[in-house]
Amino acid sequence: MILPLIGYIKIGLPPVIIVGGSAILALFLWYFIYLKRPVEPKVMLPLFVFTVAGLQIHIIEEYLSGFGPAMSRLFNIPWSERSFLMVFALVGPTIYTLTTWGLYKKIPLAGFVACFIFIGPGVAEFTHFIFPLISPQLEPGNISSISREIKGVHIDAMPNYYYKTTGEYYFAGMYTAILPMIPGIYAICRLIRKRSDRP
């Protein structure tokens, strides 16, 4: 309850809905499939590693195309480039590295993190294909990048990816969004199928 509240205060509601919704679904997947009978590392580890590898490539595109500032412009939220890098390029990989060890040792918390990654990047990345259709809350008709202070945080170079303004169907990170989706969705299907095969 505390983490979503902090996320809402620091970033805003839309990212909290996407991440929080993924976390709730991950909790169900983890509870019913992993918690009582952890999946063998030979099954779980490759699924997790491939999903994270796809996610990291995707994050490179997000960084290069200004995902954090683009989200700031889209939803009028303070998501700076620095906070994007801190979470997705520094803290995230540290958690993923520890999770691989935890999956090897069948530690329950690691199973939850893996389920979250399968559902978050595995399913929720489809939102990249919706974002170009949403009118930005900040200057939707202005095709140029803008800089502005949002809730006390200065956000530089917020690009506009609104399809009606740019004429191009694209949003930051959209081209590589499918990379974590393929192994993530496959992992969910594989885990559900594995549970149904159990006596």
Find the mean pLDDT for residues 191-199. Answer: 71
What's the average model confidence in pLDDT over 151-177?
A: 96
Domain that holds residue 127: 2-197
Q: Is residue 8 over pLDDT 80?
A: no
Q: What is the pLDDT of residue 19?
A: 76
Instruction: Supply the angle between the helices 108-123 and 13-29 in degrees, to the nearest 10.
Output: 130
Count of CB atoms situated within 10 Å of the CB of 103? 24
The mean per-residue pLDDT over the stretch 152-161 comes to 95
Higher pLDDT, 116 or 18: 116
Inform me whether the pLDDT recorded for 4 exceeds 80. Answer: no
pTM comes to: 0.89
Percentage with pLDDT > 70 across the chain? 90
Query: Which of 29-38, 58-67, 133-142 has the weakest average pLDDT?
Result: 29-38
What sections of 40-170 are H helices per DSSP? 41-64, 67-75, 81-84, 92-104, 108-123, 163-166
Per the structure, how many domains does the chain have?
A: 1
